[in-house]
Structure 1
Amino acid sequence: MPEPEREDHGAYDPVGPRPREAISPTGQGGAMDLALEEAESLDKGPGPGPAAGTGAQQKARSLWSDAWHQLRRNPVFLISSLVILFLVVISIWPQLIASGDPLQCDLSKSQDGSSPGHPFGYDTQGCDVYTRTVYGARASITVGICATLGAALLGSALGGLAGFFGSWGDALLSRVADIFFGIPVILGGLVFLSVVTSDTVWPVVGFIVLLGWPQVARIARGSVITAKQHDYVQAARALGAGNGRLLLRHVAPNAVAPVIVVATIALGTYIALEATLSFLGVGLRPPTVSWGIDISNAASQIRNAPHMLLYPAGALSLTVLAFIMLGDAVRDALDPKLR
């Protein structure tokens, strides 16, 4: 059978016509170039391949998983978490380590030192200092956690909405926050709590939330303004996503990290603020057991019975330090620039 006619009357190439890029500028063809490329690929080693690419995708971590990976290796986070866990447990079940009654006192043992079964001694009223120190964690932890949750939720909602929508609401929130920033905390507590007659922790919690939300709102506002300018938010908006979906699905998850850091550090500050207000006589009031109340009662007897002040003040300092250390560890884990 006769061969089909070819327009090219030169030598027949069984491979077929080669692409233009395979021909070198010198006109010798692409065999040498292909050989050089193959040698370079061998020198670089095998490529990632499908399996390697799949493994790399499996090893990729999100912001939260990467932060948790960093926190597990941070001794500061582990120590502070154990201390806080212990404080939370004894605040819920103080009878686990203290079998006495914090309100049961014996005046005959007033200001006595340590004795068997009473390692911290007695206060002025003859109450066991160890039992009162253990039970005092309940009020302080309750005030700190409730005030932090209230300030974080209120500040995040107002600051996030103001930063996302802007306009006159943003300007109004900024001016209102400036007004609250101008109120001295201690003076405001003396004025606000002096007219409250309740013996519960809720007036103190409400006052701390009232003065604490502007700080969280300012942080949330700035974080939301930064997050909504990212490309993925603009792409979702271009695809027709509404404001609610943008705020809840795209902006809020990527703007909540700074709020968590600020709230964690502020929790220790709020516990110290409660103790300060109780020390001044406008915070928690007897018969509520509080470290601030015990410190206030022991301040006048520091020379005669220093143990009355040492143990509640040490417990307060340890608690505040643990929460501040936890906040610093969380900040370092959530901020890639600090690693």
Structure 2
Amino acid sequence: MTDNTPQAPSPQRETPGADPVTVAQARTGDDGVVARSLTANAFRSLKRNPLFWVSSTLVLIFIVMAVWPSLFTNQDPHYGVLSRAMQDPSAQHWFGTDRQGYDIYSRVIYGARASILVGVFAASGTLVLGSLMGLLAGYLGGGNDTLISRVADIFFAIPLLLAGIIFLAALREEETLFGIPIQGYFGVIFQVVLVLVIFGWPSIMRLMRSSVLQVKPNDYVQAARALGASPMRITRRHILPNAMAPVIAVSTINLGAYISVEATLSYLGIGLRPPTVSWGIMITDAQIALRTDPYILFFPALFLSLAVLAFIMLGDSVRDAFDPKSD
């Protein structure tokens, strides 16, 4: 008697030299959609997002402006001639000149370097410190989690701007900090970055801790632990790559916020100081002639706003792309 029971199809194996089209078809589900990883779906979503391309273009322009300002202007931002002070925008001076005869266009271009350096270093520092603390708190749990979380709550309770004012005012007359010189161009930048990292890491730590707690119970983590993988290997190969996406997205948003904080501190006279050129310092100098010559304030404020907006839009785009709940 013939058995008419349908037999299950044997699993298809990928053999060396197999046709890529055939392999792709083997990995295609019943609905005809090829399975993709979260990262692949995120990049696919970013490619179709016009907001991502606009913000990425602006960010690239500002980064090139900070690294190679000579590509945009050949004038010295520190060269001032009083005889040409307070000139309106013209073909010779595109953005006009300020009350000390400085060319505003060249100072706006060179001002991007200090402002973006502060933002990049501060965002990178908070990303590293906050991610490390959040990873330890989420993975170890117990008393370690409680201790790290309570320390983070203490720093989180202090407003960032207020902490910056107090910290930088105390360091204003110091020459070294922990043996590191804090005078000069990079020394002053180091001061601002340090205060932003010290009081800005708790938000990244909380987000990283939440991500680790979501990834930790997953089957692939439990399988790796059952197979005898060390905690370091589990953390490095499984937990960290799957928990970093929201942290990186928020750090990109924070980068724009740190540029804004630097401008605020410089405006108050306790952040970056002359002869350093930054957008915040230019806004401070412009308030004297605001009523008679508003263009002195308009151009540095415009570039500052565009830079902050570009980084925030880029962070929003990345965050939405890596959000599995979004379409």
Q: TM-score, length-normalised on structure 1?
A: 0.84
Number of the residue aligned with 1:207: 195
Number of the residue aligned with 1:286: 274
Number of the residue aligned with 1:172: 147
Taking the aligned partners of 2:61 and 2:69, their CA distance within structure 1 comes to 10
Consecutive unaligned residues of structure 2, counting only runs of 5 or more, are 14-18, 29-33, 173-182
Taking the aligned partners of 1:123 and 1:109, their CA distance within structure 2 comes to 9
Which SS does the other structure have where 2:132 is aligned?
helix
Letter paired with 2:115: S
Number of the residue aligned with 2:227: 239
Consecutive unaligned residues of structure 1, counting only runs of 5 or more, are 1-16, 23-33, 38-47
Whether the 8 Å contact between 2:249 and 2:315 is mirrored in structure 1 is yes
**What per-residue deviation string (whole Å, max 9, x for no partner) do you get for residues 36-76 of structure 1?**
x8xxxxxxxxxx98887622438433222221121111111
Number of the residue aligned with 1:109: 84
- Of the three residues 230, 248, 257, the one matched with 2:245 is 257
Alignment of 1:189-204 (within 5 A): 189-197=164-172, 198-199=183-184, 200-204=188-192
Taking the aligned partners of 2:105 and 2:43, their CA distance within structure 1 comes to 36
Taking the aligned partners of 1:230 and 1:290, their CA distance within structure 2 comes to 47
Number of the residue aligned with 1:71: 46
Letter paired with 1:133: V
Q: Please state if 1:272 is matched with 2:260.
A: yes
- Of the three residues 153, 156, 164, the one matched with 2:131 is 156
- Of the three residues 200, 206, 218, the one matched with 1:218 is 206
Taking the aligned partners of 2:69 and 2:127, their CA distance within structure 1 comes to 28
Which SS does the other structure have where 2:170 is aligned?
coil
Number of the residue aligned with 1:42: none
- Of the three residues 55, 68, 81, the one matched with 1:93 is 68
Alignment of 1:291-330 (within 5 A): 291-330=279-318
Q: Could you tell me how far 1:303 is from its partner in structure 2?
A: 0.4
Q: Please state if 1:184 is matched with 2:184.
A: no
Q: Please state if 1:55 is matched with 2:6.
A: no
Taking the aligned partners of 1:270 and 1:186, their CA distance within structure 2 comes to 10
Q: Could you tell me how far 1:179 is from its partner in structure 2?
A: 0.7
Taking the aligned partners of 2:297 and 2:265, their CA distance within structure 1 comes to 17
Percentage of matched positions with identical amino acids = 50
**What per-residue deviation string (whole Å, max 9, x for no partner) do you get for residues 250-275 of structure 1?**
11111111111110110100100100
Taking the aligned partners of 1:78 and 1:18, their CA distance within structure 2 comes to 63
Taking the aligned partners of 1:172 and 1:210, their CA distance within structure 2 comes to 17
How many residues align? The count is 298
Which SS does the other structure have where 1:177 is aligned?
helix
Larger radius of gyration: 1
**What per-residue deviation string (whole Å, max 9, x for no partner) do you get for residues 304-325 of structure 1?**
1101000000000000000011
Which one is further off, 198-207 or 86-95?
A: 198-207
Q: Could you tell me how far 1:115 is from its partner in structure 2?
A: 2.3
Taking the aligned partners of 2:309 and 2:260, their CA distance within structure 1 comes to 10
Taking the aligned partners of 1:191 and 1:145, their CA distance within structure 2 comes to 22
Alignment of 1:30-41 (within 5 A): none
Taking the aligned partners of 1:179 and 1:68, their CA distance within structure 2 comes to 37
Letter paired with 1:281: G
Whether the 8 Å contact between 2:164 and 2:265 is mirrored in structure 1 is yes
Letter paired with 2:112: A
Which SS does the other structure have where 2:78 is aligned?
coil
Taking the aligned partners of 1:18 and 1:76, their CA distance within structure 2 comes to 63
Letter paired with 2:61: F
**What per-residue deviation string (whole Å, max 9, x for no partner) do you get for residues 184-237 of structure 1?**
222211110012243431100011111111010000011001101111111111
Letter paired with 1:77: F
Letter paired with 1:167: G
Q: TM-score, length-normalised on structure 2?
A: 0.87
Taking the aligned partners of 1:238 and 1:184, their CA distance within structure 2 comes to 44
Taking the aligned partners of 1:158 and 1:181, their CA distance within structure 2 comes to 14
